[in-house]
Chains A and B, each alone.
Chain A
Amino acid sequence: MAHRNRRAFPRGSFPPCLIHRVDGIFRPEAAGPGRFSKASRRACPNREKVAAREMASRRRLTGEICLADEFILETHGLTKEFAGFFAVRDVALKVRRGSIHALIGPNGAGKTTCFNLLTKFLKPSAGQILYKGQDITAMAPADVARLGLVRSFQISAVFPHLTALENVRVALQRQHGSSFDFWRSKSVLDRFNGRAMELLSDVGLSEFANTPAVEMPYGRKRALEIATTLALDPEMMLLDEPMAGMGHEDIDKIAALIKRISAKHTILMVEHNLSVVANLSDIITVLTRGQVLAQGNYAELSKDERVKEAYLGAGHA
């Protein structure tokens, strides 16, 4: 019955046939008869593809956006315990597709730990992570990256003895196979040079193309890291303090870059520089002692007493 009137459903409520997917977990028994449930009964590895295809076709058919589509990333009760100490506790995060979502909080609040959990560099002690409606809680970090959820690191992570161009090429190379070919000359990688140069010039690094990353100034390394991440064309990027340690000019450049790439990529970023956060982010989640303290846009949060206290208490402006 709902099929014909799907457009009539208000945002946030869903036709019953989609409910089984709303929380991102596949429950084939919850699905009605038909193509979809048949597909979802197939072996696990196919589920994600089938789901994506189904979702795309449904979207085409109906023009409706369903929940898993609206939020690209969701966590439920995400918790990480280090020997009795809760670095992250019961965090429920929802990142809207296409938004710039900032994660802020005083030092030691658990922001980086959160990132490590989301990208599976750490195993959660409890909770669930859904990316594009798919449960990724048990996945390996490399697989998460392959799904298009790619992170950068708080401590600049480049390949120091590779040139800037080579750094970016390593990322480009992964998607195009041939990475196990030990018998071929690396000159086959030259076909990525054009794209790599494009990415480098996007972040203002053209003249550094042949400079080993180790010889680049700190700010440039951060920019190189972003270029390398962008090379994967990830649907969602997690940036951990992308501007830490940069001068004013570089900050403006990177802020402009982030704004630009947010047109095509969802961004979740940790940042201490509040003016950057204010300018860039659509929504902000405040984390303290591993827990979500508040969430809202900058105007709302700057009025929030608890947020002020948390920041003043930790010695921030």
Chain B
Amino acid sequence: MSALTDDTIPVTPRAMRDEMMVFGAMAVLLALVPLTDIYPFFVMQALCFALLACAFNLLIGYGGLLSFGHAMFLGTAGYCSAHALKVWGVTPELGIVVGVAAAAALSVVTGFISIRRQGIYFSMITLALSQLLYFIYLQAPFTHGEDGIQGIPQGYLFGIFNLSKPTVLYYVVLAGFLGGFLLIFRTINSPFGEVLKSIRENEQRAISLGYKTDQYKLLAFILSGTLAGFAGSLKVFVAQNASLTDVHWTMSGEIVLMTLVGGLGTIFGPVVGAFVIIAMQQYLAGFGQWVTVIQGVIFVACVLTFRRGIIGEIAHYFRRSL
């Protein structure tokens, strides 16, 4: 993993002020979207994926763990929220809680199984577990197999916010994204984050200082999985469906792609990466199957030419941490 994470962190001390300023700018810009001509559905979808990529980035960029099965958290939370909303008829906030709780439980179980493995073995186990889950969801009756769960009611959040209004839904999703983003930001800049970074930098040394590194990695895994689940639950309200694509391994791959394109181990990179990839899928939809090829080319170009990703390169150029 270290080959991927080397060099991604600008060597100047992290300046939290820069980051907070960029965060403020990002929040304002996103808040203005409904006033423009930009299709809000697109931005909402991108925000869900941005949160997902940020959660993934917490694990690889700061914990040095490459999970290749993060779609399982997205999909599990999606299915559980969708089922709770549609079949049990719960309120939106409860639907989100159900989805997030399911993802959290799943991350505890899968974390215990995978966290002791190093490097590529960790990636393989997360992939295997997500494949296992994919086949369960394919067979389980409540997911409706290939059809997925369709026509999910949006309802009123907290009994006030009418989520079937696009503008209301947009701000709710934005608030969810910003909240999740801030939690990740805080985690990175917390006492726990410091230990996590030290483990990424030199696990043996962290152990020799008396840290039981598995426990820290497990907590990072659970946080990451739970937040990925939160993104999955939000996405249910946007897409109004939950389907197998969200648990498929290609989704896991896309998460990796978004994070790499934006900049691994940078704070804003995954957000930018998610927007770039979702925009590509949106605007290149006319090319049909070729989208996959174009994505592949971009991926290769990224790895070969600007390894640090978009934000990573910018941050490196200005010797800032972003």
Residues of chain A whose beta carbon lies under 8 Å from any beta carbon of chain B = 119, 121, 140-143, 145-146, 150-153, 157-163, 166, 169-171, 173-175, 178-186, 188-189, 210, 212, 214-215, 228, 232
The docked-state distance in angstroms from the alpha carbon of A228 to that of B198 is 12
The 10 lowest CB-CB distance pairs between A and B, nearest first, are A145-B210, A182-B192, A157-B205, A159-B201, A182-B187, A146-B210, A142-B212, A161-B9, A170-B198, A159-B198
CB-CB under 8 A from B191, the residues of chain A are 173, 178-181, 184, 186, 188-189
Q: Is A214 a contact partner of B204 (Cβ separation < 8 A)?
A: no
Q: In whole Å, how far is B298's beta carbon from the nearest beta carbon of chain A?
A: 27
Q: Is A161 a contact partner of B186 (Cβ separation < 8 A)?
A: no
Interface presence of B146 (CB below 8 A): no
The docked-state distance in angstroms from the alpha carbon of A140 to that of B189 is 29
Q: Is B195 a contact partner of A173 (Cβ separation < 8 A)?
A: yes
Given A121-B204, A153-B204, A179-B195, CB of A142 within 8 Å of CB of B211? yes
The docked-state distance in angstroms from the alpha carbon of A161 to that of B195 is 13
Contact of B11 among A174, A188, A215 (CB under 8 A): A215
Complex A-B: 11 CB contacts under 8 Å:
A143-B210, A145-B209, A158-B202, A161-B11, A170-B198, A179-B191, A182-B192, A185-B189, A186-B193, A188-B191, A189-B194
Q: Is A169 a contact partner of B194 (Cβ separation < 8 A)?
A: yes
Q: Is A174 a contact partner of B210 (Cβ separation < 8 A)?
A: yes
The docked-state distance in angstroms from the alpha carbon of A212 to that of B198 is 13
Contact of A140 among B11, B186, B192, B212 (CB under 8 A): B212
Q: Is A179 a contact partner of B209 (Cβ separation < 8 A)?
A: no
Q: In whole Å, how far is B85's beta carbon from the nearest beta carbon of chain A?
A: 29
CB-CB under 8 A from A215, the residues of chain B are 11
The docked-state distance in angstroms from the alpha carbon of A186 to that of B208 is 22
Q: In whole Å, how far is A239's beta carbon from the nearest beta carbon of chain B?
A: 12
Interface presence of B13 (CB below 8 A): yes
Q: In whole Å, how far is B312's beta carbon from the nearest beta carbon of chain A?
A: 13
CB neighbors of A among B212-237 (8 A): 212-213, 215-216, 219, 223
Chain B: CB-nearest residue to A145: B210
Chain B: CB-nearest residue to A152: B208
Q: Is B213 a contact partner of A142 (Cβ separation < 8 A)?
A: yes
How many interface residues does chain B have, given as a range?
Answer: 20 to 34
Contact of B204 among A140, A157, A170, A228 (CB under 8 A): A157
CB-CB under 8 A from B26, the residues of chain A are none
The docked-state distance in angstroms from the alpha carbon of A142 to that of B216 is 13
CB-CB under 8 A from A210, the residues of chain B are 13
The docked-state distance in angstroms from the alpha carbon of A169 to that of B193 is 13
Interface presence of B316 (CB below 8 A): no
Q: Is A182 a contact partner of B205 (Cβ separation < 8 A)?
A: no
Interface presence of B139 (CB below 8 A): no
Contact of B209 among A140, A170, A180, A186 (CB under 8 A): A170
Contact of A183 among B11, B186, B207, B212 (CB under 8 A): B186
CB-CB under 8 A from A189, the residues of chain B are 191, 194
The docked-state distance in angstroms from the alpha carbon of A212 to that of B210 is 22
Q: Is B197 a contact partner of A157 (Cβ separation < 8 A)?
A: no
Q: Is B197 a contact partner of A182 (Cβ separation < 8 A)?
A: no
Interface presence of B190 (CB below 8 A): yes
CB-CB under 8 A from B13, the residues of chain A are 163, 210, 212
Q: Is B208 a contact partner of A141 (Cβ separation < 8 A)?
A: yes
Q: In whole Å, how far is A151's beta carbon from the nearest beta carbon of chain B?
A: 5
Given A162-B197, A162-B198, CB of A182 within 8 Å of CB of B190? yes
CB neighbors of A among B122-153 (8 A): none
Q: Is A228 a contact partner of B194 (Cβ separation < 8 A)?
A: no
Given A185-B186, A212-B11, CB of A179 within 8 Å of CB of B210? no
